[in-house]
Structure 1
Amino acid sequence: MMTHYRLHYAPDNASLCVRLTLEELGVPYDTVLVDRSKSAQRDPAYLALNPNGLIPVLETPDGVMFETGAILLWLADRHGALAPDPQSADRADFLKWLFWVANTLHPALRMLFYPEKFSPDHPTAFRDATKVRIAGLLDILADGPHLMAPSILQTYVAPLLRWLALYPVNDTAWFDLSKWPVLFDFCTMMDDRPATLAAMQAEGLGPTPFSNRHTLIPPKEAHSNVSLCL
């Protein structure tokens, strides 16, 4: 059995959710930087790992995995941590929120950041409507899962909230995390997690990366990869 994993990543991309999870689990892993300045995520070699051309990819003992939610759930089940046991009475509630984040909240951010892909004729109007929709989703999230208990919901949701404060560049005034005190408290707690500190050092996230976000200052070798890819 492989004793470590290989994470294909770019700084502050969806791979951050996987890095945080690996750090929380305390399992060894290697990283491979995907050079987005050269569109390496669309190279044949990368497409052989993930035909969608998206980040992240995780190489595992059971083969190559993509899709952030699937990777997180697989890791949690593989290591018996950060998710209720499949036989637990808490499993159903956990799964519904995990899939809600993966299938509803996460895609909504893609629509916000890349409106031209979803409404090429009216991207500005589409983006404005998506802001309203996401605000409603955050209302649901604030009243939904218990985010203060260690789980892959934490490592998935915290980066999403971070990106809402940073992107699109020069168009984030609509987003104020303090409107959702529960989510703000969650992000403040996540700032001090050992896993977060490790990710801060590896990816240059800056201090208080979740509660008071800063522009990415990545390590030198990753400077060319500063671009959001969800």
Structure 2
Amino acid sequence: MVKLYYYPGNANLAPHMLLEELGVPYELVLVDREQNAQRSPEYLKLNPNGRVPTLIDGDLVLYEAAAICLHLADRHPEAGLVPPFGTAERAGFYKWLIYLTNTLQAELLTYFYPERLTDDDAATAQVKSHAEARVGTMLDLIEAELAAHDGPYLLGARYSAVDPYLLMLSRWTRMMQHPARARPHLGRYLERLIARPAIQRTFAAEGLLAPLF
């Protein structure tokens, strides 16, 4: 059985939503960050970065949330959560998944952990403020993309693995001055996603409370 090591609301949320969407058997294993369990010798043997999530699938030990999402989608092509290889739609899928993980998620980490970039308290607040502004411009780009096409999802008509990933990152902005949900197209998009039964089950399993995004 697949195992997903998680902590509520962390980067495991996207692969967790995919597992529920796929309907495959899996086990959740809590990594208690309150107890610094991600730094335990046992966990570091699985994920030497000391980060969440980690996926165990048979003999495969996989970390990095985007890689886990790609693996799950490719393991279950019948679910249609990723477009076929070699198509323009597949290229668009790669573009958005990499944009979300390498650009938006990276900037969100700067927002949440500004102290990693400076030892000065005043500079920490400035780094956080600038990161929030840059996140806003990235969300504006996604808002424009959703406004430009008729489909209800990020790729258009197709629900794919990039949608739960975007929901996860949008949720991380929920306490910002101008969160993702405040944009009209993005807000309606997030409402559609949160109504999906698989996503509702995931949020319930992780014990996530309002505001959900």
Structure 2 match to 1:228: none
Structure 1 unaligned runs (5+)? Answer: 167-171, 211-230
Distance 1:178 1:157 in 2: 12
Structure 2 match to 1:120: 119
Amino acid at match of 2:186: L
Structure 1 match to 2:61: 64
Q: Which has the higher contact order (CA 8 A, sep 6+)?
A: 1
Alignment of 1:1-230 (within 5 A): 4-80=1-77, 81-121=80-120, 122-144=123-145, 146-147=153-154, 149-166=158-175, 172=176, 174-206=177-209, 209-210=212-213
3-state SS in 1 of match to 2:46: coil
Amino acid at match of 2:100: V
Amino acid at match of 1:199: T
- Name the CA shift for 1:87/1:131 in 2 (closer, same or farther; >3 Å): same
3-state SS in 1 of match to 2:178: coil
Distance 1:89 1:199 in 2: 31
Q: CA RMSD in A?
A: 1.6
Distance 1:179 1:46 in 2: 38
Give the deviation of 1:207 after TM superposition.
5.4
Distance 1:110 1:120 in 2: 17
Q: Would the aligned equivalents of 2:139 and 2:180 in 1 still touch at CA under 8 Å?
A: no
Give the deviation of 1:84 after TM superposition.
0.6
Equivalenced residue count is: 201
Distance 1:192 1:132 in 2: 29
Which is richer in helix?
A: 2
Which string of whole-angstrom CA distances, capped at 9 and with x for unpartnered residues, describes residues 85-133 of structure 1?
1132311111011111110001111100110012332110111111111
Q: Which is worse superposed, 178-187 or 8-17?
A: 178-187
Amino acid at match of 1:124: A
Structure 2 match to 1:213: none
Amino acid at match of 1:7: L
Structure 2 unaligned runs (5+)? Answer: 147-152
TM-score when scaled to structure 2? 0.88
Which string of whole-angstrom CA distances, capped at 9 and with x for unpartnered residues, describes residues 174-220 of structure 1?
2244542111011101121111111122112235723xxxxxxxxxx
